[in-house]
Amino acid sequence: MAHLQGPRIPFLYLCLAPPRLGRPLRLCSRRHQSTEPTPQVQPPIGTLSHASHLSPPPTDYGRTIFADKATVTLSAGSGGHGCVSFLREKYIEAGPANGGDGGSGGSIYIQAVRGETSLHKLARRSHLRAGRGKNGQGKSKGGTRGEDVLVQVPAGTVVREVSRHDPIAEEEETRRLEEGSEEIANSETRGTWRRDKWVLYPASMPSEYATAEFPPLPRPRKSNLMMAQPEPPIALDLSEPMEKPMLLAAGAMGGLGNPHFVTSANRRPKFATRGEAGMSVTVELELKLLADMGFVGMPNAGKSTLLRALSRSRARVGDWAFTTLQPNMGTLVLDNSRGRPQVQVNRASGEPRTQISIADIPGLIPDAHLDKGLGLGFLRHVERAQVLAFVIDLSAGDAVEALNTLWKELGEFETLRGMETNMQTETRVVEWKAFGNSTSSASACDGTLAKRDENIIIEPSGSKSLSALPMAPISSKPWFVVATKADVEDTQANFAKLQAYLTALTRGTVDHPSKKKNSWKGRLVAIPVSAIRGEGVERIPEWTVGLLDD
């Protein structure tokens, strides 16, 4: 392995002279006839291994699977069927009914946890089903509950309902609309056989039910867990990790066994009810908070190498543009439980901060807000970071001009998002006046047509295209500059110009490059680093934590 050559950065960090490496190791050794083991020369700890991590071979890349949006259908478990059974003992010829009730279906829970940084596990699974309840058994044995499903998402996930199918609610609505009619009045005293509602005794003949009278169907039963469900439509902002999971869809109730239908006229009923069908909810999951810190920069500015220098990430690096085609996530450990932490801070909630999540966002080019380059899909990731770190290459031209170019794209994207939000707000409710101009408040709230009203209000709530998430403006986020490749010769003047520009921005003598009025007002700094050497990067965690807890 060759030495790391190149000039140091004495004009920035006088004390960051890296230790000189020892003699390079031989890749091949000669054969020896002796059986004695050949002494191996061990490299100094933290030198060669660190250098190989920052400048890895092509085989040392990890493929990052990332998704920040997923649409999943969550189906709660259906209830088990009731059992038709009778007591059988030696001296009892015709025992009483003893069929058990069916078990309840499994429920769907959701929980925001730490450690998860992507929704790719859910994006490739479009349907999640909870377990169905088991059927009842003889000797009054009830069926067991179905298995629950726990959906774990990253902290900072927004859950929004797209559509819903609730068979119990639909049946109740049908009963309410038909209430008072002749059919319902007759069904209170006499019922009919329905294949989707009744379970028949398998040992009986079909002719027995030709003229048999069935009792009226019991009303749909709801599980007590439904009281803990969020009100529809679901709209959750899981911004913090959760200690306990939250219920999204409760399992359906099981069917009733034949003892529930014993009457004085029918001591041995040969029928039971089927379990209720489970509800299904289609939700859209979207990451609102991508990371604590996001790298923003031009292509080939050294963002992936900087991510490797700060974390154990295996992001792909290379000396060409667009080596990063999707966000790479890394974790900067502040407290590794091996001595005193590098930075001692507490979160706003009082919980100690032990790590910082970092997002390496793909490079932006001029006119990216017009969907050029990697386009709007990756500009969307910028607004999901709490702190922005603008990675500027000191060896690639004027640093101030590069910073203004990045801020111009972010400012244009912020304006574009504001226009989209206004358009979606205007088209959210469509009112159609077909016959007159009077409508009741109740019908307007429900989005339905009342009996004597003449207005129709259409709300596209069942549409599968949801409006964009309300995000904080990009210009209002705290930010700083990371000046990379500071070890290259003749970059001192470029860095001094960048420092003077940031000082003028802090004092307010020049306008903010985003041209927005609500821009962040704070102290701006430029941290010079050499990512390929790992020099100067120790200031980044301290400054980032200060901005996060400000």
The whole-number pLDDT of residue 108 equals 95
Distance CA(531)–CA(483), nearest Å, equals 10
219 and 350 in a single domain? The answer is: no
Closest Cα to residue 182, out of 173, 193, 190?
Answer: 190
The b/e string for 356-393 (b: 16+ C-beta within 10 A; e otherwise) is bbbbbbbbbeeebbeeebbbeebbbbbbbbbbbbbbbb
Segment 159-213, tens digit of pLDDT: 999 999 999 888 888 888 877 655 554 444 456 778 888 888 887 777 777 667 7
Instruction: Identify whether residues 200 and 316 lie together within a single domain.
Output: no
Domain end, chosen from 287, 313, 331, is at 287
Decide if 276 is inside a domain.
Answer: yes
Structural domain boundaries, residue 514: 2-25+52-65+290-420+469-548
Q: Where are the beta strands (DSSP E) in 348-425?
A: 355-360, 385-393
Residue where the block lists tokens 């088990």: 80
332 vs 537: CA distance, rounded Å: 11
Q: Is residue 58 part of a domain?
A: yes
The pLDDT value recorded for residue 80 is 95
Is 155:112 a contact under the CB 8 Å cutoff? yes
Place of tokens 């950065």: 9
* 240: CATH: 2.70.210.12
For residue 366, give Cα distances in angstroms to 299, 322, 407, 434. 11, 14, 10, 50
- Short-list 147, 146, 172, CA closest to 254: 146
Q: Are residues 246 and 302 in the same domain?
A: no
509 inside domain: yes
Residue 9 shares a structural domain with residue 99: no
Tell the residue number behind the tokens 């990790």, with chain if given: 241
Residue 453 structure tokens: 């009203």
| CB-based contacts of 418, cutoff 8 Å, min separation 6 | none
> Angle CA(96)–CA(99)–CA(104) in degrees, nearest 5?
155
Pairing of strands 108-113, 149-154: parallel
DSSP strand pairing (355-360 vs 291-297): parallel
What gap in Å lies between CA 483 and CA 493, rounded to an integer? 13
Q: What is the distance between the alpha carbons of residues 259 and 267, in angstroms, rounded to a whole number?
A: 9
Query: CB of 42 within 8 A of CB of 258?
Result: no
Q: How far apart are CA 135 and CA 212, in angstroms?
A: 25
Query: For residue 91, how far is the Cα from the chain centroid?
Result: 63
Residue 429 maps to a domain: no
**Which residues, in sequence order, are bridge partners of residue 282?**
73, 163
In a domain, residue 436? The reply is: no
For residue 356, give the nearest of 529, 483, 545 by alpha carbon.
545
What pLDDT sits at residue 50? 54
- Which of the listed residues 287, 304, 333 is the one where a domain comes to its end? 287
Q: Which DSSP helix (H) or strand (E) runs through 420?
A: helix 399-426
- Taking Cα atoms as reference points, which of 473, 437, 476, 469 lies closest to residue 453? 437
273 & 353 share domain = no
Same domain, 272 and 298: no
For 47, half-sphere exposure in the C-beta direction (CA atoms, 13 angstrom radius) is 17
Query: What is the Cα–Cα distance from 459 to 445, expressed in whole angstroms?
Result: 10
Q: 182 vs 178, 185, 187, 388, CA distance in Å?
A: 9, 5, 9, 68
Q: Are residues 299 and 270 in the same domain?
A: no
Dist. CA 108–CA 161, nearest whole Å: 14
How many independent structural domains does the chain possess? 2
Identity at 73, one-letter amino acid code: T
Residues 85, 19 within the same domain: no
pLDDT of residue 480: 94
Helices 492-507 and 399-426: crossing angle in degrees, nearest 10, is: 40
In a domain, 450, yes or no: no
Give CA 281 to chain center in angstroms. Answer: 16
Residue 386 CB partners (closer than 8 Å, separation 6+)? 289, 291, 292, 293, 477, 478, 548
- Please report whether residue 487 resides in a domain: yes
Q: How far apart are CA 484 and CA 12, in angstroms?
A: 12
- Of 76, 168, 159, the C-alpha closest to 112 is 159
Is there a domain that residue 361 lies in?
yes
In terms of domains, do 194 and 259 share one? yes
Phi, psi values for residue 352, rounded to 5°: -65, 140
Chain centre distance of CA 524:
32
Residues 20 and 150 in one domain: no
| 376: alpha, beta or left? (left if phi > 0; alpha if psi -120 to 50) | alpha
Q: Which residues pair with 271 in a beta bridge?
A: 200
200 with 314, same domain: the answer is no
Q: Is 271 helix (H, G, I), strand (E, B) or coil?
A: strand
Q: Could you report the per-residue pLDDT of 285-342, keeping only the tens digit for each?
A: 988 877 888 888 888 777 878 888 888 766 666 554 555 556 777 788 887 666 666 6
Q: Which residues of the chain have pLDDT under 50?
A: 1-8, 10-11, 13-48, 185-189, 320, 368-371, 373, 375, 425-463
CATH number for position 313: 3.40.50.300
Cis bond leading into 232, ω under 30°? Answer: no
Report the residue count for the chain.
Answer: 550
Identify the domain boundary among 287, 306, 333.
287
Tokens matching residue 394: 């000191």
The verdict on 123 and 174 lying in the same domain is yes
Give 81's contacts (C-beta < 8 A, 6+ positions apart). Answer: 102, 135, 136, 199, 254, 255, 272, 273, 274, 275
Give, in order, the Cα–Cα distances in Å from 49 to each of 43, 52, 53, 55, 485: 9, 5, 6, 10, 21
